[in-house]
Structure 1
Amino acid sequence: MDSKLSKLGYLIVSLILAILLAGYANSQQDSSVTRNAQSRGANGGTGHEKTLGLIATKKSTFSVPLQLNGIDTEDYYISGAPQNVKITVSGSSALVTSAQNTKNFQVYADLKNLTEGEHTINLKVSGMSNDLTYKLEPEKVTMSIAKRAVTNYSVQTKFDNQAIANGYHAGKPTSSVNAVEVMGSTESVQSVQSVVANVNVPRDTKANIRQDVTLQALDANGKPVNVSISPQVTTIKIPIIGGEGSRQVPLKFNGKNGNLKEFNVDADVNEVTISGETDDIEKVKDVQLDIDLKDIEQTKTLNLNLPTKKHVKMEPDNVTVVVTPKEQN
């Protein structure tokens, strides 16, 4: 009897141990699968990836061109439609990456059978995998349809002559684009009076100008007109030429045979007008005049000739100076 009970006890203990071992093995296997799935998600993700079971998922936002379908853009002018729209694609990581890299789908506005005028159109997507979801931004676009008109205009260059430095003047401007094609609705194109390149000239300009300028179509009141211009950018060159000019510079005194700080000096002028070629007078910052202080022991009036400078004329050509020793004050 004892022997039978002992055997039964061993069987029960063995069964319990087997159940415990099986449970432990299953938990280890589940933990390993979870770790492997998490490891794959962490190593292959872009910050927007998740794991759904053992499949990595991803969400990505990028720009794609907007296509205009169902209308002949050679005959009609479309305004208000953006060049690109944003799309957010979600799904398996591999499919999302493929869609982003290949862009093997199309975002379009269906303009078929629409008449001239303004329309609000829901954007559509074709060619997208059924296993992906997406969201467009914007989802709808308001655009205008009008009969297309095309005409040619010559380019006019405009700039502020007053910004050019004194003594300089602008030569004849040149443009890399002399004529442009203006496209738009018939009404808009007919309102265009000129196509201009507005050049920004810095104040006191003395150097030649070279500037890339975006062209503008203007109406009779000088206001911009909403049309397309091709080409849209031109390079403007304006030569800046120096000529004759004049300007005032300060008169400065230097002591000779004595210390000028020990004397008061009063002159009938403090500035001198210099004139000549612009490049020459630009080099003159002031006019220096020497005063001979030897034997001046009391107030003395001197008539001094200004020094001459090559190619530069000075006015006046002499100044009257009253020199007084300071100890007599």
Structure 2
Amino acid sequence: MNKWRKFADSKAFYLILSLIVTIWIYLSVSSPRMGNTRSSSEANNVAVSNKKATINMNLQVNVDSERYFVTGYPKQVAIKIEGPAALVTATKNTQNFTIYIDLRNLSVGKHRVAIKQDGLNRDLKYTIKPRYVDLDIEPRAERTYPIQASYNAHRIAPDYQVGNVVLNPQVVQVVGARSEIQRISQIVARANLPKAANKTYQQEVLLQAVDEQGHTLSVLLTPQTANLKIPISLPTKTVPVKFVQKGDSSKTYSFSSAVQKVQIAARKEVLNQIDELELPVDVSKLGDKKSVIIKITDLNSDIIEAKPKKLKVNLKDETDQNVANNGG
């Protein structure tokens, strides 16, 4: 016991104790720090994880549009961005910035201007392509023009004819550079007819401003489309009808109908040969029928269409009357 007390009071004891405490403090402090170092390193890796993306953006033009009209610039440009992955993804999804050219301090004429951006996060690097655009600033002009229908007549089926073409609307408002407006020859609603078109064409078609050579001009049209209707049909003719008895029967009939005239559609040479339409009525299998229904196009294959298509023909047996007349 005395030896222990003597050792505890010695300088060696305190040196050993100090060494133990120092080692304990080092271990207790360095272990969490090592863990923190790893966590911090991982966090830094995440933070500096970069990403690239390319976004196609509409190009905004800042100009006095009441006085000037600008041509020659692209409608869209590409911007390549690079930076923290989360920020790049968010920017690409929201596109909460603008790409623009500022022409407000420029005069009429040709210019090369830089494309700029506004609203892009400062932590992002970016490159805009193209960096510059060549454009032309001209005085603005505005006029109203009638719309002209255009179609290829060679695409109309043989023997068919075109009726009165209908356009809705019939006029268009044109805005553009004064020089382009002055070159306008007409505003065209061009129909894309199928080959051998044999029925009415009706479509919403794009309008185009063209010069005397048929070249499309760079102007703004309001509206941009028109409803175009081109009636396509065979020639028609209205003629009286005459019913003629056909087939073997011991009876003689007279025929009548509430319809005295019909409109027929056929080739022009066919119509030229018809002044009265003879319609045969087959009496060979009438029995006791008092009327029959006949279809005009079934009786004459040269007739493509007829209005009305079918006729009700009333039958009257004239046999006894004819015998009496012959006997008298």
Under a length normalisation based on structure 1, what TM-score does the superposition of the two structures give? 0.59
Moved more, 185-194 or 98-107: 98-107
Q: Which amino acid aligns with 1:211?
A: Q
* Aligned counterpart, 1:139: 131
Quote the residue 1:67 is aligned against.
Answer: 60
Distance 1:223 1:105, change over 3 A: closer
Retained in 1: the 8 A contact 2:82–2:126? yes
Kindly indicate whether the alpha-carbon contact (under 8 Å) linking 1:175 and 1:236 is maintained by their aligned counterparts in 2. yes
CA distance in 2, matches of 1:205, 1:108: 48
User: Could you tell me how far apart the structure 2 residues matched to 1:124 and 1:198 are?
Assistant: 39
Residue in 2 aligned with 1:118?
Answer: 110
Q: Which whole-Å CA distance do the structure 1 matches of 2:126 and 2:82 have between them?
A: 6
Inter-CA distance 31–196: structure 2 relative to 1 (3 Å threshold): same
Aligned partner of 2:230 among 230, 234, 238 = 238
Q: 1:97 to 1:312 in 2, by over 3 A?
A: closer
CA distance in 2, matches of 1:207, 1:34: 76
CA–CA separation in structure 1 for the residues paired with 2:301 and 2:214: 45
State percent identity of aligned pairs.
31
Tell me the CA shift for residue 185 of structure 1: 1.5
**Matching residue within 61, 65, 69 for 1:77:** 69
Partner residue of 1:310 out of 295, 299, 316: 299
Flag structure 1 segments of 5+ consecutive residues without an equivalent.
1-18, 42-50, 246-274, 282-308, 315-329
Asked if 1:200 corresponds to 2:189, the answer is no
Once the two structures are superposed, the pairs formed by residues 181-260 of structure 1 within 5 Å of their partners are 181-243=173-235
CA distance in 2, matches of 1:176, 1:164: 22
Contact residue 276 and residue 313 of structure 1 kept, 8 A: no
Match of 1:58 among 51, 66, 75: 51
Q: Which residue of 1 aligns with 2:20?
A: none
CA distance in 2 between partners of 1:224 and 1:29 (Å): 69
Q: Distance in 2 between matches of 1:125 and 1:155?
A: 40
Q: In the alignment, is the contact (CA less than 8 A) between 1:174 and 1:236 conserved in 2?
A: yes
Distance 1:35 1:243, change over 3 A: same
Question: Hey, what does 1:4 align to over in structure 2?
Answer: none
1:194 is aligned with what amino acid?
Q
CA positional deviation for 1:230: 1.9
* Preserved contact between residue 120 and residue 140 of structure 1 (Cα < 8 Å): yes
Count of residue correspondences: 240
Conserved in 2, the CA contact under 8 Å of 1:277 and 1:311?
A: no
Does structure 1 conserve the Cα–Cα contact (< 8 Å) formed by 2:64 and 2:104? Answer: no
Change beyond 3 A, Cα 1:105–1:36: closer
Matched residue SS, 1:215? strand
Partner of 2:12: none
Aligned alpha-carbon RMSD (Å): 3.9
Deviations 1:45-78 (A, max 9, x none): xxxxxx62xxx43322212222222x31111000
Tell me, what secondary structure is at the counterpart of 1:114? coil
2:121 corresponding residue in structure 1: 129
- Distance change (3 Å), C-alpha of 1:195 and 1:119: same
Give the conservation status (yes or no) of the 8 Å contact 1:167–1:244: no
SS of the counterpart of 2:91?
helix
What is the SS of the residue equivalent to 2:74? coil
CA distance in 2, matches of 1:135, 1:36: 28
1:288 equivalent in structure 2: none
CA distance in 1, matches of 2:161, 2:60: 50
**Separation in 2 of the partners of 1:145 and 1:120?**
11
Tell me the distance in 2 between the aligned counterparts of 1:159 and 1:126: 47
- 1:36–1:185 CA distance, 2 compared to 1 (3 A): closer
What amino acid is the match of 1:106?
A: T
1-side partners of 2:42 and 2:125: how far apart?
28
Taking the aligned partners of 2:178 and 2:58, their CA distance within structure 1 comes to: 26
1:163 to 155, 164, 168: 155
Q: Which residue of 1 aligns with 2:89?
A: 97
How far has the Cα of 1:167 moved from its partner?
Answer: 2.4
Q: Which moved more, 1:142-151 or 1:57-66?
A: 57-66
**8 Å contact kept, 1:105–1:128:** yes
1:287 paired residue number: none
Question: TM-score, length-normalised on structure 2?
Answer: 0.59
Q: How far did residue 121 of structure 1 move?
A: 0.8
Between the aligned partners of 1:277 and 1:92, the Cα distance in structure 2 is: 75
Deviations 1:173-216 (A, max 9, x none): 22233211111111211121210111111211112212332211
Q: Is the 8 A contact 2:147 2:188 kept in 1?
A: yes
